[in-house]
Amino acid sequence: MLLTRFFKNCKGGVAPMLALSIVPLVGAVGAAVDYSRASSARTAFQSALDSTALMLSKDAQSLTGAQIDQKATGYFNAMFARPEVQNVQITQQLTTPQQGSFILNVSGTGTVSTSFARIIGQPEINLSASSQVVWGIKKLNLALVLDNTGSMAQSGKMSALKTAAHNLLTTLQNAAKTPGDVQVSIVPFATDVNAGTGNVSASWIDWTDWDASNGSCSKPSYDTQSECTSHGKIWTPENHSTWNGCVNDRDQNYDVNATAPTGGGTKFPAHQASACPAAMMPLSSDWTSLNSKIDAMSPTGYTNVTIGLAWGWQTLAPNEPFNAPSPAPDLDKVIVLLTDGQNTQNRWSSSSSSIDTRTQKVCDNIKAQNIRIYTVRVIDGNATLLKNCATKPDMYYDVDAANELDNVFSSIAQNLANLRIVK
């Protein structure tokens, strides 16, 4: 009764109405503050999640699901320092649409407790964010520098190498979004590299030594040019059409560089090697021909890793004789070197340590040009030299059995990837 009279009294009725109206007004104003705090937290939450996804994607394909979960939470917590966000949950999903291509989705949720909005019935604000990293092969120039020496005939190594190389080419072919995005050169090597008889008329071949070693004297009893000419006789070189395509090391220090062959010691000396490997193939995206080249490889001769690397580099260089694409931000240049033995023979020496010195020089020079090197040692070979040649320790592979090669080449193909956040 008293309350009824109070509300009917014009002088006292305004006060309770005003008091009641203040509650939603204060709630609304306070909620704006809460939502502002939550918006700031959400921005930081998304940024930390993007960084987590990018960092995680670097090695996600080599981790188990539990390891990825653990790393995702660890990375996120290290970067996200907002104590007002509670109940944080980070989840991830790694998928492989095709070999050599990966999608990593990382999602997160959390809550922010409200100070004012709870007055109007909202005790917390939910946060959620997601980030996606897609990585696969970008533009790539890859040189496969493959040991074709006689020892590769042992323990099933050549057969395993061919299988692994075919599968690597398939991965790269599937990853190429447009023709020419991925180009591969193949450089089989022994003591020499076979530049191909189709280059018999190329200006970059030096015939001096070949002409002196392959010919006939006007007096048949003299077998060499020096013996022939020293006796006043005439030496007639063989027709260059009989050349088998092999070249040996260039003059030092051109032997460990990709200098354009313009004259003198910069040219490649023709050499009629008795053990001449299959002809090399410059950069190409003709996958049928590349696979055929792998099939054509056959073990022969001794080991000269230096010349294999030098020619692998030459196929990637933007100058003669192959005029590869120039370096660009969206282009990776990579060499994969595989060998199964110690250096045993080059143009000047059969001393392993002497040839190793040349090999290390060419490795260093290649890496100085921002060309990445993967090295694979198959059962035998100088492990220290190959580790030092690789761009990073984890880009060196030590294979104890030939049947491990396929997994190694698959791993390398998957690592030839570029990361980018797309969402």
Report the b/e string of 205-244 with b at 16+ CB within 10 A.
Answer: bbeeebbeebbebeeeebeebeebeeeeeebeeeeeeebe
In terms of Cα–Cα distance, which of 160, 174, 179, 168 is closest to 334? 168
In terms of Cα–Cα distance, which of 35, 191, 174 is closest to 113? 35
Q: Are 56 and 169 members of one domain?
A: no
Domain boundary among 116, 136, 156: 136
Domain boundary among 117, 136, 155: 136
Q: Which of 12-16, 106-110, 169-173 has the lowest mean pLDDT?
A: 12-16
Residue for token pair 């660009």: 328
Contact 363, 373 (CB under 8 A): yes
Residue 240 lies in a domain: no
pLDDT digits (tens, 9 = 90+) for 153-198: 999 999 999 999 999 999 898 878 788 899 999 999 999 999 999 9
Report the domain count for the chain: 2
Residue 52 lies in a domain: yes
Residue 12 lies in a domain: no
Q: Are 88 and 174 members of one domain?
A: no
pLDDT digits (tens, 9 = 90+) for 117-150: 777 778 888 989 899 888 776 799 999 999 999 9
Q: Are 55 and 164 members of one domain?
A: no
322 or 98: which leads in pLDDT: 322
Q: Are 74 and 166 members of one domain?
A: no
Q: Are 59 and 106 members of one domain?
A: yes
pLDDT at 321: 97
Q: Are 313 and 358 members of one domain?
A: yes
Q: Which of 81-90, 133-142, 216-225 has the lowest mean pLDDT?
A: 133-142
Residue 43 lies in a domain: yes
- Per the document, the length of the chain is 423
**Full domain range(s) for residue 298:** 139-199+275-421
Q: Are 127 and 149 members of one domain?
A: no
Average predicted confidence (pLDDT) for the chain: 89
Q: Are 183 and 328 members of one domain?
A: yes
Residue 231 lies in a domain: no
Q: Are 289 and 332 members of one domain?
A: yes
355 or 69: which leads in pLDDT: 355
Supply the DSSP string of 23-75, one letter for each residue: HHHHHHHHHHHHHHHHHHHHHHHHHHHHHHHHHHHTTGGGS-HHHHHHHHHHH
pLDDT at 275: 95
Residue 392: CATH number of its domain: 3.40.50.410
Residue 313 lies in a domain: yes
pLDDT digits (tens, 9 = 90+) for 24-35: 545 555 567 778
pLDDT at 55: 85
Q: Which of 30-34, 122-126, 286-290, 375-379 has the lowest mean pLDDT?
A: 30-34
Contact 61, 414 (CB under 8 A): yes
Burial class (CB in 10 A: 0-12, 13-18, 19+), 404: middle
Residue 145 lies in a domain: yes
State the sign of the Cα–Cα–Cα–Cα dihedral 339, 356, 361, 396: positive
What is the Cα Rg of the chain in Å? 34
Contact 283, 316 (CB under 8 A): yes
In terms of Cα–Cα distance, which of 372, 398, 331, 407 is closest to 99? 407
Instruction: Give the rounded percent of residues in the chain with a pLDDT score beyond 70.
Output: 90
pLDDT at 25: 47
Q: Which of 166-175, 182-191, 331-340, 350-359 has the lowest mean pLDDT?
A: 166-175
Domain boundary among 136, 155, 172: 136
β-strands 85-98, 101-113 pairing: antiparallel
Q: Are 358 and 306 members of one domain?
A: yes
Token digits of residue 218: 């006007």
Residue 76 lies in a domain: yes
Q: Are 128 and 34 members of one domain?
A: yes
Contact 86, 41 (CB under 8 A): no
- State yes or no: pLDDT of 116 exceeds 90: no
Q: Are 383 and 280 members of one domain?
A: yes
